[in-house]
Amino acid sequence: MLDQSTLKGRVIAATLRLAAERSWDDVLMKDIADAAAIDLATLRREFPSKGAILGAFMRAVDDAVLASAPKFTGSENTRDRIFDVVMARFDVLAPYKEALRNIAAARPFDMDLMRRGMASQAWMLHAAGVRTDGMLGTSRVAGLASVYASVFQTWLDDDDPGTARTMAALDRRLKRGEQSMRVLTDAVDGADRVATRILKMFGCDARRETRPQPPAQAESPPSPSI
């Protein structure tokens, strides 16, 4: 997954090797530079922090998952599609599990890293064919991020080659999330119906219906979308 013929790939790979060998807090930027056979100035130009290196790793994982995402026929339900995509992500992460254990144990806090994590979950939903726009879409991204964070901890401790514990935990959490999203969708639909009634009370629909129509013009090509 990591192209070590590039500087970026070499740095990420070196960082993960070090993280697999020691506590994440004990991995220094100078150690990373030495392991990648570069000087600190070169490392700084590429990555300003360890968090930035992890962010680049997460993006590489996103790319690997999206490039090999399961092909769906349309007969699968949404929960099954999300399940398959998340498990595909764990398959991509498997070679780096020891490093990720040590990184997770340190609980690094980095706002850019958190934003990158949310973006990753949005792309996992895209791969599953799930919309992420609007209020419901934002809720779906946040919901999957919560599910993933919980199941990720299970996966870190799951040494079964078949990842049975991980799959059971993911299935359980997705079922719960599906129920929560159903409640939220009903609430949003209800709010939309109330808003529509209020607009009608104030005659908003009537104004639209009685608005004078512009005179007919010669047909012209549509404007490009921006």
Q: What is the CATH number of the domain that holds 109?
A: 1.10.357.10
In a domain, 218, yes or no: no
Residue 117: predicted pLDDT: 94
Contacts of 8 (CB under 8 A, 6+ apart): 46, 56
In a domain, 142, yes or no: yes
Q: What is the mean pLDDT of the segment spanning 17-30?
A: 98
Tell me how far apart the alpha carbons of residues 145 and 120 are, in angstroms, rounded to a whole number: 9
pLDDT digits (tens, 9 = 90+) for 210-219: 444 444 444 4
CB 54 within 8 A of CB 103: yes
Tell me how far apart the alpha carbons of residues 45 and 50 are, in angstroms, rounded to a whole number: 13
In a domain, 221, yes or no: no
Determine which helix (DSSP H) or strand (DSSP E) holds 106, and give its type and residue range: helix 97-106
Output the pTM of the full model: 0.78
pLDDT digits (tens, 9 = 90+) for 158-205: 999 999 999 999 999 999 888 766 654 544 444 445 445 545 656 665
Count how many domains the chain has. 1
Structural domain including 60 reads 7-201
In a domain, 226, yes or no: no
In a domain, 207, yes or no: no
